[in-house]
Each structure stands twice: as C-alpha cells, then as structure tokens.
Amino acid sequence: MNSTAATAPRFEVGVDIGGTFTDVVCRDCDSGAMRLVKIPTTRANPSA
C-alpha cells in the first residue's frame, strides 16, 4: 500500500440540490465531525 494513501484524510460528502436551497454535508471519516452548509440554489441576481 502507498504510505501517502494511508495518511490521506478521508471524507464523505453528500449534496441535495433542492428547489430553494442546496444542502452540502461533509463528514470526516476519522473523527466523525460533520459540517452542514445550506445555500440558495439560485443566485440573488440571476443575470449576474
């Protein structure tokens, strides 16, 4: 096994692209720490 692969951080990522919001979840596989981000699916100014 490559020693770099053994020490590389591992993450799981989930994305839900909904109507109004897009949710993104990232989980650190080693510590179990999770981060959730909710952002508008459409920009405030669609012409930008």
- pTM, to two decimals: 0.65
Contacts of 41 (CB under 8 A, 6+ apart): 17, 18, 19, 20, 21, 22
| Mean pLDDT split into 10-residue runs, the chain, 48 residues | 71 92 96 95 72
pLDDT at 1: 55
Q: How far apart are CA 44 and CA 17, in angstroms?
A: 16
Token pair in block for residue 3: 């020693």
Quickly tell me which residue has 């020490």 as its tokens: 7
Q: State residue 27 phi and psi, 5-degree precision.
A: -125, 130
